[in-house]
Amino acid sequence: MIIKTVDNVQKALEGVGNGMTFMLGGFGLCGIPENSISELVRLNVKNLTCISNNAGVDDFGLGLLLHKKQIDKMVSSYVGENAIFEKQMLSGELDVELIPQGTLAARCQAAQQGFPAIYTPAGYGTEVAQGKETREFNGKMYVLEEAFKADFAFVKAWKGDKAGNLIFKGTARNFNPAMCGSAKITVAEVEELVEPGELDPNQIHIPGIFVQRIFQGKDYEKRIEQLTVRTKN
């Protein structure tokens, strides 16, 4: 059995550099690789392309990288609640490629499964399809979309073992599984790291073959993006 464990986030991110393309799991603030993002901020790597459903909020998650202007391009499906993201996009400081959410997930999965591209009906007849190959299947038109090419994928799981097998919890099972194995190197941070054999094989969502490095995360904040409460009667 190949042990994928590294001692800390610093070891996990060895090899990252300027101008690289990163995939980052999560949805809003749910299931984001907080430790890995904090380390990217500390390393101050620049000119990054980041593939993520969105960029969360201004002062947390990918918003920290945007605040320091470390990201040149965001590939996302949603601008969301991040005012810095919106401002940099509208001013032209940040190159943004907006992609239908299902297409974003499918392009991650295509990379994971070794397919160079997919055909999708989403975007046909719109600006999304301009300059791309289109083809008819069973009387319906589809757009050719290439699989993503990334240097690192950073994901967050609930539990993992030292061989890289992962279990995701609840809504955190969003873009994280699709991004495992979708880059040259997949780094998984977990809330709980256990010995091989301790996880129920029937509960494992991602097998260790899709993970190159895994480490025990710490100090997770688990913020709420939009807190809504009832007023007192």
Q: Is residue 222 in some structural domain?
A: no
Q: Is residue 224 in some structural domain?
A: no
**Proportion of the chain above pLDDT 70, given as a percent:** 100
Q: Which residues pair with 148 in a beta bridge?
A: none
pLDDT digits (tens, 9 = 90+) for 3-13: 999 999 999 99
Q: Is residue 137 in some structural domain?
A: yes
Q: CATH number, domain at 145?
A: 3.40.1080.10
Q: How confident is the model at residue 131 (pLDDT cuts 50, 70, 90)?
A: very high
Q: Is residue 231 in some structural domain?
A: no
Q: Is residue 126 in some structural domain?
A: yes
Q: Is residue 132 in some structural domain?
A: yes
Residue 105 domain boundaries: 9-216
Separation CA 82–CA 85 (nearest Å): 5
User: CB neighbours (10 Å) of residue 212?
Assistant: 21
Separation CA 194–CA 45 (nearest Å): 31
Separation CA 91–CA 85 (nearest Å): 10
Task: Please enumerate in sequence order all residues whose Cβ is within 8 A of that of 195, keeping only pairs 6 or more positions apart, or say none.
Answer: 161, 162
Q: Stretch 114-136: mean pLDDT, rounded? A: 95
Instruction: Determine if the pTM surpasses 0.85.
Output: yes
Match 């099972």 to its residue by tokens. 173
pLDDT digits (tens, 9 = 90+) for 52-92: 998 888 888 899 999 999 999 999 998 877 889 989 999 99
Separation CA 77–CA 95 (nearest Å): 13
User: CB neighbours (10 Å) of residue 20?
Assistant: 19
- pLDDT for position 200: 97
45: pLDDT strictly greater than 90? yes
If one counts the domains in the chain, the total is 1
Q: How confident is the model at residue 29 (pLDDT cuts 50, 70, 90)?
A: confident
- Helix (H/G/I), strand (E/B), else coil: 185: strand
Q: Is residue 46 in some structural domain?
A: yes
pLDDT digits (tens, 9 = 90+) for 178-210: 999 999 999 999 999 999 999 999 999 999 999
